[in-house]
Amino acid sequence: MTTESALAWLEANEDAGIERLCEWLKIPSVGTDPAFDDDTRRAAAWCADHLRASGFDVELKETAPDDGRGQPIVLATCGDASTPGPHVLFYGHYDVQPSDPDDLWETGPFDPVIRDGEGGGKMVVARGASDDKGQVAMFLEAMRAWKESGGPVGGGVRWTVLIEGEEESGSVNLERFLERERSRLAECDVCVISDTGMLARGKPAITYGVRGLAYTEVTLHGPDRDLHSGMWGGRCPNPINELVRVLAGLWDGDRKVTLPGFYDGVRGPVQDERDAWSKLGRDAAKQLEEIGLSPEADIGEAGFTEVEREWGRPTCDINGIQGGYTGAGAKTVIPAHASAKVSFRLVDDQDPEKIRDGFFAWLEERTPPGCRWSFLDHGTGLPATMSFDNLYLRAASTAIESACGVAPAMIKTGGSIPVAGLLKQNLGLETVFMGFGLDDDRVHSPNEKFEVECFRMGARSHVELCRALLKGV
């Protein structure tokens, strides 16, 4: 009935826990693709069953608006208003990224295998192994451990568990859901998320901030049909030429983004952070080497180090360009239109919607003669940074240190998890990110993996978190 019994149960049942994770990974819950809607729903039900077996009250909540799609949210609770200690919201996502390009997978993306890992131990290879089913499974196993070892449900903590199926597609229905469930969610004291990484193998971390995101798609329309470039080249706008000419103006010679007001409200990184980050021992040259680049490829916004650029500065990236002829061989064509997917990673206190609108207005001002634009908004997410004096940060840190034998590093991430900003903005809730992924987990890529050692650290940390949260209660 103690933390020790729960930890002992975890150890004795680790293989079974990994097997359970593999069952979940076999369900291709590609939330963004309607072809997988039935599977996505099955993955939600699988998670609901797991929590039910650990003693939680579980519901599957529909999220679809009247006129659209929506993946169900797993909402589970244990404890009540009389439960001592904080009321903690655990958030995760059961949807996964599409598996393509499938031919680059060494084994089937939804056919999980356990193989020798790069770090000496074993690893699970499958889509979602690290992002985020494997990390949610650490929490699920910790809760199972409390139940099976005879401890109180949820380790005696009052939990609300929210596992969604739309994170990878921008959490479009989440804000409405949070509003609808406001009364119960507003009671929570803090949110805990396992969907980020460690500093390095064997070096656990607490992530205290994520970047925000504004994702757009812009199309430049020129002539009303594709044309022969011998007859029309040089005589009328070529939408691809014009599009890249305009987009190239997004950065100045220092690789700063040129949109007016883009840096308004940008607060960091502050000097304390810059000092702390420089001592984390990241090796930029080595990280570049791992992706096939030489040290001189360490480029980005002038005046900031690589870690500052990743965690603390906003960026703009073109994520895709389409237009004209892209098949084999040559075709001399002036295309009717060209488009680009352009996204912005944002930091506190940039406003994603303002950045998106500012970008569209900036393009309008630069419309090439005779052309017109059309714009798509693929979603926004707020940046979120938690304050260092948050009470629960200490509990998380104590838990990780007890579970892993080493104190966690304090890091940020360049990635985005939209729910954190929503919780902060709408409910005033801060988030502690306790993630156990590794930089080489190949999230969103072929051959995604999660190392069993990471899974172990995470499951133990979530058992210990219950003790740490209740200490002094």
In the complex, the residues that contact ligand BES under the rule CB under 6 A are: 131-132, 167-168, 170, 195-197, 213, 381, 413, 415-418
- Determine which helix (DSSP H) or strand (DSSP E) holds 221, and give its type and residue range: strand 212-221
What burial letters (b/e) apply to 10-24, b meaning 16+ CB within 10 Å? beebeeebbebbbeb
Q: Work out how close the CB of 13 gets to ligand BES at its nearest, in angstroms, rounded to a whole number.
A: 26
Burial of 37 (0-12, 13-18, 19+ CB in 10 A): middle
Contact stretch for Mn ion (CB under 5 A) within 37-45, 99-107, 179-187, 189-197: 189-197
Question: Which residue from 132, 148, 448, 451 is in contact with Mn ion, where contact means CB under 5 A?
Answer: 132
Amino acid code (one letter) for 22: C
- What is residue 278's three-state secondary structure? helix
Question: Which residue from 195, 308, 430, 441 is in contact with Mn ion, where contact means CB under 5 A?
Answer: 195
Pick 96 or 463: Cβ nearer Mn ion: 96
Q: Work out how close the CB of 83 gets to ligand BES at its nearest, in angstroms, rounded to a whole number.
A: 30
Residue 451 binds which entry of ligand BES, Mn ion, none, CB below 5-8 Å type-dependent = none
Which tokens is 358 given? Answer: 């500012």
Rounded to whole angstroms, the Cα distance separating 414 from 314 reads 9
Contact stretch for Mn ion (CB under 5 A) within 37-45, 192-200, 241-249, 318-326: 192-200
Amino acid code (one letter) for 237: P
Closest residue to ligand BES, based on beta-carbon distance: 415
Peptide bond into 269 cis (omega under 30): yes
Residue 204 binds which entry of ligand BES, Mn ion, none, CB below 5-8 Å type-dependent = none
Length, in residues, of the chain: 473
Residues 6+ apart with CB under 8 A from 106: 125, 446, 447
Q: Work out how close the CB of 265 gets to ligand BES at its nearest, in angstroms, rounded to a whole number.
A: 20
Pick 131 or 451: Cβ nearer Mn ion: 131
Pick 132 or 441: Cβ nearer Mn ion: 132
CB 213 within 8 A of CB 344: yes
Rounded to whole angstroms, the Cα distance separating 276 from 272 reads 6
Q: Work out how close the CB of 176 gets to ligand BES at its nearest, in angstroms, rounded to a whole number.
A: 16
Pick from 399, 236, 233, 264: nearest CA to 331:
233
Pick 131 or 348: Cβ nearer ligand BES: 131
- Using the rule CB under 5 A, is 131 a contact of Mn ion? yes
Q: Work out how close the CB of 432 gets to ligand BES at its nearest, in angstroms, rounded to a whole number.
A: 14
- Using the rule CB under 5 A, is 351 a contact of Mn ion? no
- Using the rule CB under 5 A, is 451 a contact of Mn ion? no
Residue 381 binds which entry of Mn ion, ligand BES, none, CB below 5-8 Å type-dependent = ligand BES
Which tokens is 278 given? Answer: 């420089």
Q: Work out how close the CB of 328 gets to ligand BES at its nearest, in angstroms, rounded to a whole number.
A: 32
